Amino acid sequence: MSQRLFNFSAGPAVLPVEVLEEARDNMLSLGDTGIGIMEHSHRGKAFVGVLAQTEADCRKVGNIPDNYRVLFLQGGASSQFFTIPMNFLSSGDTADYLVTGAWSKKAVSQAKRFGTPHEAASSSDRNFSYIPKTASYSDNPKYVHFTSNNTIFGTQWAAEPEPPSGVPLICDASSDIFCRPIDVQKYRLIYAGAQKNLGPSGVTLVIIHDDLVKAGALDIPEMLQYRTHAENDSCYNTPPTFGIYIMGLVFQWILKQGGLEKVEQANREKAAVLYDHLRESPLFEATADEDSRSLMNVTFVTGNPDLDAKFIAAAKDQGFDGLKGHRSVGGMRASIYNAFPKQGVEELVKFMKDFESQNG
Ligand SMILES: *Cc1c(COP(=O)(O)O)cnc(C)c1O
Domain membership flag for residue 36: yes
pLDDT value at position 300? 98
Q: Strand (E) positions, 94-211?
A: 94-99, 116-122, 144-147, 149-150, 155-156, 169-172, 189-193, 204-209
Residue 134 pLDDT class (50, 70, 90 cuts): very high
Domain membership flag for residue 166: yes
For ligand 1, atom 1, the nearest C-alpha belongs to 174
* CA 69 – CA 189 distance, rounded (Å): 9
Regarding whether 279 and 211 lie in a shared domain, the answer is no
Ligand 1 atom closest to 201 (CA): 7
* CA 60 – CA 53 distance, rounded (Å): 10
How many domains is the chain built from? 2
Regarding whether 332 and 203 lie in a shared domain, the answer is no
Regarding whether 137 and 47 lie in a shared domain, the answer is yes
Domain membership flag for residue 151: yes
Regarding whether 231 and 302 lie in a shared domain, the answer is no
pLDDT value at position 3? 87
Question: Taking 90 as the threshold, does the pLDDT of residue 360 lie above it?
Answer: no
Residue 351 pLDDT class (50, 70, 90 cuts): very high
Domain membership flag for residue 6: no
pLDDT value at position 93? 97
Q: How far is the CA of 11 from the centre of ligand 1 (A)?
A: 9
Q: How far is the CA of 32 from the centre of ligand 1 (A)?
A: 36
Mean pLDDT of the chain: 97
Q: How far is the CA of 190 from the centre of ligand 1 (A)?
A: 13
Q: How far is the CA of 194 from the centre of ligand 1 (A)?
A: 9
Domain membership flag for residue 12: no
For ligand 1, atom 8, the nearest C-alpha belongs to 76
Q: Which of 240, 257, 274 is the last residue of a domain?
A: 257
Residue 341 makes CB contacts below 8 A (sequence gap 6+) with 6
Element (H, E) at 270: helix 260-280
pLDDT value at position 158? 97
- As annotated, the active-site residues are 103, 172, 196
Q: Which amino acid is at 137?
A: Y
Ligand 1 atom closest to 79 (CA): 9
Dihedral in degrees, nearest 10, Cα atoms 233, 239, 243, 248: 20
Regarding whether 86 and 49 lie in a shared domain, the answer is yes
Identify the domain containing residue 172 by its residue range: 18-257
CATH number at residue 355: 3.90.1150.10
Q: Is the dihedral of CA 225, 176, 169, 188 positive or negative?
A: positive
Regarding whether 197 and 330 lie in a shared domain, the answer is no
Angle at 14 between CA 304 and CA 276, to 5 degrees: 45
Regarding whether 245 and 134 lie in a shared domain, the answer is yes
Q: What is the CA radius of gyration of the chain?
A: 21
Regarding whether 276 and 239 lie in a shared domain, the answer is no
Check if the beta carbon of residue 36 is closer than 8 Å to that of residue 235: no
Domain membership flag for residue 29: yes
Q: What is the pLDDT of residues 242-258, one digit of tens each?
A: 999 999 999 999 999 99
Maximum alpha-carbon separation in the chain: 64
Query: For 227-246, what is the mean pLDDT?
Result: 98
Report the residue among 151, 178, 198, 335 best suited for mutation to probe ligand 1: largest number of ligand atoms under 8 A from its CB.
151
Q: Which of 230, 257, 284 is the last residue of a domain?
A: 257
pLDDT value at position 1? 63
Question: Taking 70 as the threshold, does the pLDDT of residue 21 lie above it?
Answer: yes
Strand partners, 298: 334
Q: How far is the CA of 173 from the centre of ligand 1 (A)?
A: 9
* CA 139 – CA 130 distance, rounded (Å): 26
What share of the chain in percent tops pLDDT 90?
99
Domain membership flag for residue 2: no
Question: Taking 80 as the threshold, does the pLDDT of residue 239 lie above it?
Answer: yes
Query: For 260-286, what is the mean pLDDT?
Result: 98
Ligand 1 atom closest to 173 (CA): 13
CATH number at residue 43: 3.40.640.10
Regarding whether 211 and 150 lie in a shared domain, the answer is yes
Q: What is the pLDDT of residues 27-83, one digit of tens each?
A: 999 999 999 999 999 999 999 999 999 999 999 999 999 999 999 999 999 999 999
Regarding whether 175 and 150 lie in a shared domain, the answer is yes
Check if the beta carbon of residue 257 is closer than 8 Å to that of residue 263: yes
Check if the beta carbon of residue 111 is closer than 8 Å to that of residue 137: no
Regarding whether 207 and 77 lie in a shared domain, the answer is yes
Check if the beta carbon of residue 251 is closer than 8 Å to that of residue 54: yes
Q: Which of 257, 280, 302 is the last residue of a domain?
A: 257
Ligand 1 atom closest to 150 (CA): 13
Query: For 154-177, what is the mean pLDDT?
Result: 98
Q: Which residues line ligand 1 (CB under 6 A)?
A: 11, 76-78, 103, 147, 151, 172, 174-175, 193, 196
- What's this model's pTM, rounded to 2 decimal places? 0.98
* CA 267 – CA 245 distance, rounded (Å): 24
Regarding whether 152 and 121 lie in a shared domain, the answer is yes
- Within 10 A of 177 (CB to CB), how many other CB atoms are there? 27
Domain membership flag for residue 249: yes
pLDDT value at position 23? 98
